[in-house]
């Protein structure tokens, strides 16, 4: 049976319902059997849905410790970061 990628729209051959990687973009597509249709019928477009992406971890926020600032900003995996508002060095304590 022929399936169509839910992300890029590329058509490709599949043998039966299941999960298949798109040959063009690599996203995993889940091919479901037709709801109420005869066995072996091609899947409907609404049955071709890529699985949901895993949720991203929330970004870490740090607060400037300068008395006159207190600005809250996002930091990565670093030991120290400059405050984008006042330039004070904020010790994060993580990172490389």
Write the pLDDT tens digit of every residue in 67-82.
889 899 988 888 888 9
Determine the Cα–Cα distance for residues 43 and 66; give it in Å rounded to an integer.
61
- pTM for the structure as a whole: 0.39
Same domain (yes/no): 41, 72: no
Q: How far apart are CA 61 and CA 81, in angstroms?
A: 11
Contact 45, 24 (CB under 8 A): no
Are 41 and 73 in the same domain?
no
37 within a domain of the structure (yes/no): yes
Statement: residue 9 has pLDDT above 60: yes
The token duo for 14 is 């599949």
Q: Which two tokens stand for residue 36?
A: 């109420």
How many independent structural domains does the chain possess? Answer: 2
Examine residue 54 and state whether it is found in any structural domain, yes or no. Answer: no
Residue 6 lies in a domain: yes
Give domain status of residue 72, yes or no: yes
Range of 23's domain? 2-49
Does some domain include residue 55? no
Whether residues 8 and 45 share a domain: the answer is yes
The stretch 76-93 carries a mean pLDDT of: 88
Query: Is residue 74 one of the residues assigned to a domain?
Result: yes
Shared domain check, 65 and 34:
no
Q: Which is more confidently placed, 86 or 42?
A: 86
């Amino acid at each position: 049976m022929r399936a169509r990628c839910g992300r890029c729209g590329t058509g490709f051959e599949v043998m039966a319902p299941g999960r298949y990687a798109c040959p063009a973009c690599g996203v995993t597509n889940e091919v479901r059997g037709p709801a109420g249709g005869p066995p072996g019928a091609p899947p409907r477009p609404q049955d071709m849905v890529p699985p949901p992406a895993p949720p991203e971890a929330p970004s870490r926020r740090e607060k400037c410790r300068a008395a006159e600032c207190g600005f809250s900003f996002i930091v990565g995996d670093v030991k120290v970061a400059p405050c984008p508002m006042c330039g004070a060095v904020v010790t994060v304590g993580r990172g490389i």
